[in-house]
A and B are shown apart, each in its own frame.
Chain A
């Protein structure tokens, strides 16, 4: 039995290190690795399920082709690549390379993902997407304010006196953070959660504020007003480090009583919260991605962030605004969120016209040339993009779809050719994290089953067939030694870190600030924290000062009175993991959660079959009547497959956020009725 140190490459805060024991090309056991101070206790239930996932009999391990009958048939890798090469050439000749959509999701992170760029660039470019479904509004808000996106190391959280978890549910989406929250609480830290829902995280809190969804900005701005009124602000810090205080002060107009009307939180309680924020530092705010999945999401994050700035809770131990920590992303030429933005000059020959948030609509409207084909890797856009109806229509309109996948996902099921995808154990790679400060190497520990090829090799063979001449620096030869060589070369230009160093243990990012901004240097135009941002006005056409804009729901509220929230859950990363037996065994069947109040009104009981619907579409699923949901709100997690009565995007309209090209998932309204 061999043991390897590796790291989980999922789109998740934690990016856990763990040890994996392998015997006869099978994973036997996953063990924690305490050397990673952010995840010393090891991975979550999803990580544990790799034991099943890597060897699942349901995994696709041979290329499949759709025959005219509609059924898939197994073909060899050579046959599949021949057909793909032939089709790509003929489509390119007929309609041009931009008639091909190259769609890549966040299914697996790693430097080797760049290899695809090299191939498609040499191919002549394709249409690609801009924006991101998850977090860009908030990223942009933080970037505009601080000039960069970083926060203190996760383990510094125990030094906080007050932690405000604002629209985040670490109990399910960043479970290792719970250990630090509990650690802080043991030392007397006050834990406050602001979330419309009574999440599992709320169970660990001292105070829970449940505002109406989309009104967090109003709450934050009212608190800012109280802080200034009661003189609970850090004048010295503001004078030295903040740009736009005077403008902010002049613009604040939401009084506690107004905020009560908007958010539903009583004015007295808002004042109480402001006093805790002003007096009980150091304060760390843990904003999640939920509160920025609104049309006003970017401005909301800017409004919450200014509470940290006004109270001087930046650049100190136990303090901070922990939206994301991109300090380990040292290998990216362009960091998020800038990499999400269309950039015609730098990214030729790619033409970025397709919005991630409005994928279906944009695909259907594409012209000159129309989209004819799609290549999808690391993603499941048919399930995960808003507006399923249009997305499905757009994909069915295409004449050729290649999907690189491990399982028969809802996107793979629409493919013409499915190429089996590698899993995290079958190719070496290097990954960063958006929470912990480590750069990590994950080795190859398993041989791929069947005819599974990593994307790098798929592209290598295709490039050969298409006679594309791509240098080794961009497209490595098959074989893991070559990947290691490629990685070595790739990282050597960016820092002094060597591959052998990374192979030994996770490495702290060079230049890491354990306490972010402790030098009080901000990479903004003014060099200060910009509460007033000229760039916000120029780039996004919004107020340079954070403001609260009332949400205009995406559906008629009179006919569809229930607000819908589509969070992530502890047992899935978006649409991954839910298909595994061990996850099904240990988690209840997916259901739409509804309050007792709304359920009684509609004669719905737990377990009833229900229809969730609005102008965009409808979803048939089961109901769970819950005390964890306030009246007026319903909850259905994203990432539940169609065959599990899932697919919440059927009732989600495609709409972009105010900045960063995110998707406003949480502005949808629905009605629910019981069906017999």
Chain B
């Protein structure tokens, strides 16, 4: 039978002994074990539940699948998912993919660290440090069931990854009665959903946007039957490539990002970029028309691959309904640059519909309303100018159009929501609070 963590929240008081033991045993710079608290701001209507979680050493380890550098491996005896820090390139993609917030970026070492299940301790006959250190017996290590009933939290993410954890408390309900009533609840509880912030990776945003422009101009050139200008195309491509390096912790190991083409969408994206760049450059340098066709095709595939990187991390790991994705933006740019009115209108309408959809979905982020409207206005202006052939100075229209698409990409990063337990806990907390207040 499979072994894993066994947790009973009835005995957990968030004392942090597990976290301390983890750090002391492994001498981490980071905190591989999280103690999540459901209702940490102690709203009286909802129970306070503590969850001590580190890596769940999933059967389908998405961190390992997604890692472009093949830095993860599974230890054969214990089934522990281990990261080899010497192989990690510090791209942090695993942090997007893990719904349990297990991979931690070590700012000093510039690589990711994570729970290793204290596997060498297990091989020596001990338990993982966090489990033997728990003073109440809330966190244990042992044989776990594989039935779905072990997840007592309806909101526990990604059960299909088959994480090696079992919860033994029998659910939770708010039975706590406070006397005098309302002696503590004196403020509106926090509602802000804290999600993984991808916006702090501006180099990725820039990379994907520049890539979209580059690919569209390549295809535009092909449609127009000319070759892109060397003096623009080459520096632009180099810039795009360079930007992608900026977010890596270990630039010198960046070659490793091609080592996991089999399962990592990031690896594939980088490979597609290289193929596109190589064919594009050769075509432009030596004026080989066949290679321009190849580059155009590779470019389209590359854009699909970029989107795939995000789809893999998205909260339901399915197609993202967002107008800021690179493939659709790429198509719009091609029709815009080529002046193809009907394709442009068709794609623009899809984008418009998606933008309005987002606008309605994200009511909470009212601070973004202005920008969301601006994005729609820019799209309409661009469309109108194409249809009516109004002869604005061309550069102004191009500028307005590209700015609109850039905003769209920024919004994509803002709305992009990798599956994450932190987000789910706050969302669920708000749902339960609303239900109780309503009832």
Contacts and interface: CB of A to CB of B under 8 A. Distances in A.
A32 B185 CA distance: 39
B86 interface: no
Interface stretch (B21-29, B148-156, B242-250, B303-311): B21-29
Interface stretch (A368-376, A541-549, A625-633): A625-633
Interface string A250-285: 000000000000001110010000000000000000
Contacts of B126: 31
Interface stretch (A108-116, A204-212, A519-527): A204-212
Interface stretch (A36-44, A96-104, A391-399): A36-44
B172 to A, nearest CB: 11
Contact of A176 (B43, B129, B136): B136
A210 B177 contact: no
A41 B13 CA distance: 14
Interface stretch (A179-187, A610-618, A660-668): A179-187
B403 interface: no
A358 interface: no
B48 to A, nearest CB: 4
Contact of A208 (B11, B13, B50, B179): B179
B147 to A, nearest CB: 21
A597 interface: yes
Interface in B102-141: 126, 129, 132-137
B183 interface: yes
Contacts of A30: 133
Given A198-B42, A630-B183, A44 B24 contact: no
Nearest to A597: B186
A587 interface: yes
Interface string A16-35: 10000000000001111000
Contacts of B129: 29
B351 to A, nearest CB: 42
A131 B408 CA distance: 72
A48 B132 contact: no
A41 B48 contact: no
Contacts of B134: 41
A595 interface: yes
A177 to B, nearest CB: 9
B10 A48 contact: no
Contact of B176 (A42, A176, A207, A269): A207
A261 B139 CA distance: 44
Nearest to B19: A586
B15 interface: yes
Residue from A44, A206, A207, A629 with most neighbouring chain B CB atoms (10 Å): A44
B429 to A, nearest CB: 13
Contacts of A175: 13, 15, 135-136
Nearest to B21: A48
Contacts of B41: 627
Residue from B21, B126, B183 with most neighbouring chain A CB atoms (10 Å): B183
A43 B15 CA distance: 11
Nearest to A44: B135
Nearest to B13: A171
Given A41-B135, A48-B21, A207 B179 contact: yes
A628 B10 CA distance: 19
A627 B135 contact: no
Contacts of B225: none
A204 B10 contact: yes
A571 B16 CA distance: 9
A107 interface: no
Interface string A589-609: 000000111000000000000
Contacts of B210: none
Interface residues of A, number: 59
A204 B13 contact: yes
A45 B16 contact: yes
Contacts of B15: 44-45, 171-172, 175, 570
Contact of B178 (A208, A625, A631): A208
Contact of B184 (A41, A52, A179, A628): A628
A200 interface: yes
B405 to A, nearest CB: 40
A480 interface: no
Interface string B165-186: 0000000000111111001111
A408 to B, nearest CB: 23
A626 B183 CA distance: 12
B69 to A, nearest CB: 29
A597 B183 CA distance: 10
A186 B137 CA distance: 14
Contact of A627 (B43, B50, B136, B179): B43
A341 to B, nearest CB: 35
Nearest to A571: B16
Contacts of A39: 135
Contacts of A41: 134-137
A265 B176 contact: no
A82 to B, nearest CB: 40
B10 A200 contact: no
A182 B135 contact: no
A585 interface: yes
Contacts of B185: 627
B371 interface: no
Interface in A148-192: 171-172, 175-176, 178-179, 182, 185-186
B365 interface: no
A48 B135 CA distance: 10
A42 B177 contact: no
Given A44-B17, A203-B47, A595-B186, A29 B136 contact: no
A182 B11 contact: yes
Interface in A452-480: none
A265 B180 CA distance: 6
Contacts of B180: 210, 264-266, 269
B24 A582 contact: yes
B136 A206 contact: no
B354 interface: no
Contacts of A178: 11, 13, 136
A633 B243 CA distance: 54
B184 A198 contact: yes
B20 A203 contact: no
A84 interface: no
A210 B184 contact: yes
Interface string B46-63: 011010000000000000
Given A178-B11, A204-B13, A585-B23, A42 B133 contact: yes
A202 interface: yes
Nearest to B186: A596
Contacts of B203: none
B24 A265 contact: no
B177 A52 contact: no
Contacts of B176: 202-203, 205-208
A388 interface: no
A394 B419 CA distance: 60
B422 interface: no
A182 B7 CA distance: 13
Given A43-B135, A201-B13, 4 more contacts: A40-B137, A178-B13, A264-B183, A631-B186
Interface of A: 16, 29-32, 39-45, 47-49, 51-52, 171-172, 175-176, 178-179, 182, 185-186, 198, 200-210, 264-266, 269, 570-571, 582-583, 585-587, 595-597, 625-631
Q: Can you list the 6 inter-chain pairs with the closest CB atoms, starting with the nearest?
A: A171-B13, A596-B187, A586-B16, A627-B42, A203-B48, A596-B186
16 contacts: A32-B132, A41-B136, A41-B137, A42-B132, A176-B136, A179-B136, A205-B176, A206-B175, A207-B178, A210-B179, A210-B184, A266-B180, A586-B31, A627-B44, A627-B184, A630-B183
